[in-house]
Structure 1
Amino acid sequence: MYVLTADQRGSRTGRDLVPDILADGSPSGLLRPFERTAGDEVQAVFDSPAGLALVAIDLASSGDWSVGIGIGDIETPLPPSTRAGRGAAFIDARTAVEDAKRNRWHLCIVGESSWCASAQTAARLLLDVLTDRTDAGHEAVSLVAQGLTQSAAATRLGISPQAMSLRLQHARWDIEPSARALFTDLLTVANIGVDA
């Protein structure tokens, strides 16, 4: 099982972003929804890694959140309220979010499986790709991700196809899908508990 705890960064000087997360719908694999646990912190429980991976990377790459993922057992039956949950995954998520506050990626993964370290490394490499992108790179990747051809995206941006190709290359857009898949796969293995 997966528990994600996220703590808003710089909440004393910015607006409260917790309501945005609470209103953001239900990502796939969400077993218990995000709830405010204390102040500017939220927590959710996932039973599958795909939605978790997407949410964790989006939160950490925004620069607004420190993200901790705990992987392990939880006490069942799981109560209706997320914050009433108990078990190793909840404890590990708390440890992870505290560690995440002290590193440049603002994301940590903690659990019993040695595969947690591999999942964390994959997430951090993906975060390096995403946070290193320029605004122009994000815009170019977004258009191609929406299904536009590179030529059509270039036309929309008012740039040449060659310039579009360079933007995408510098944004490292071609590695992002496989990096996301790797992160999701490693979360799966870490949850199964198979150790090398």
Structure 2
Amino acid sequence: MYVLTADQRASRVNADAVPSALAVVARHGNDRLALPPERTAGDELQVAVADASAVLSIVLELTRSGEWSVGLGVGDVESPLPQSVRAARGEAFINARDAVDRAKKTPTRIAVTAPAGGEDAEALVRLLVELRDRRTPEGWEVYDLLADGLTQRDAAARLGVSEGAISLRAKAAALRVEESAVPALERVLARLDDATAAIPPHEQG
């Protein structure tokens, strides 16, 4: 199981970002959430996710804004699951707490803690987040249009530029690199969860 704990950065001087983040998590997780996201403290949210693709999508969206330190914990969760994530317990929740505490100290604002293999997953996710952090507003503009299903030709028409300009923006934004990296990272995270499931609960941690 994957558990995400996210803590809003500089929450004392910025507006409350938890409501919008809860909406982001719900939208990207959809029916792949094991437990719905909730505010677990004044400026913190938590969610349990059952799917590697969904958890990576949520991580990338939360780290994109720069407003969140995100901890991803992988591990066993006590069953049956309660209705509220705040009542849930297990190694994944402990690991998520460790991860978010470490994420607060890193430039990429993300950390991964798991019984085994978490270091490799963390390094790869941080590489992708760092790449995305370098993306310009123009690069994000193209990213969002293509993510909405537009072709490069459609995006060019929408922005009033040439297809060549869109191609250059996409290259500078490393969109193809991300497109290749995301499925690979999903497989890494899925294997991490599979490996955790194979470890007896008393040996985790």
> Is the structural similarity TM-score above 0.5?
yes
Shift of 1:155: 2.7
* Structure 1 residue aligned with 2:61: 58
Aligned residues: 194
Instruction: Give the alignment of 1:132-151 within 5 angstroms.
Output: 132-151=134-153
Q: CA offset at residue 73 of structure 1? A: 0.5
- Which of 77, 81, 87 aligns to 1:74? It is 77
Percent identity at matched positions?
43
Residue pairs, 1:67-146, within 5 angstroms: 67-114=70-117, 116-146=118-148
| Deviation at residue 173 of structure 1 after TM alignment | 0.8
Conserved in 1, the CA contact under 8 Å of 2:21 and 2:62?
A: no
* Amino acid across the alignment from 1:134: T
In structure 2, the CA distance between the partners of 1:172 and 1:15, relative to structure 1 (3 Å rule), is same
Point out the structure with the larger helix share.
2
Q: Which residue of 1 aligns with 2:12?
A: 12
Normalised TM-score (structure 1):
0.92
Q: Point out where structure 1 has 5 or more consecutive residues left out of the alignment.
A: none
CA distance in 1, matches of 2:59, 2:181: 14
Structure 2: how far apart are the matches of 1:98 and 1:124? Answer: 15
Task: Give the alignment's TM-score, normalised by structure 2.
Answer: 0.88
The DSSP-based 3-state class of the residue aligned with 2:35 is: strand
AA of the residue aligned to 1:192: D
* Amino acid in the other structure paired with 1:8: Q
Give CA-to-partner distance per residue, 1:89-138, whole Å, 9 cap, x none: 11000000000000011000001112x22221221121122111100111
The alpha carbon displacement at 1:179 in A equals 1.2
Q: Deviations over 1:138-178 (max 9, x none)?
A: 11222233333323322322222222221111001111122
Partner Cα separation in structure 2 for residue 35 and residue 86 of structure 1? 15
Distance 2:88 2:2 in 1: 12
2:201 is matched with which residue? none
Q: CA deviation at 1:63?
A: 0.1
Are the counterparts in 2 of residues 113 and 191 from structure 1 also a CA contact under 8 Å? no
Gap runs ≥5 in structure 2:
199-205
2:163 corresponds to: 161
TM-aligned CA deviation for residue 76 of structure 1: 1.2
Which residue number in structure 2 is paired with residue 21 of structure 1?
21
CA distance in 1, matches of 2:153, 2:23: 36
User: Per-residue CA shift, 1:37-70, capped at 9, x if unaligned?
Assistant: 1110011111111111100111012100000011
Give the secondary structure class of the aligned counterpart of 2:77. Answer: coil
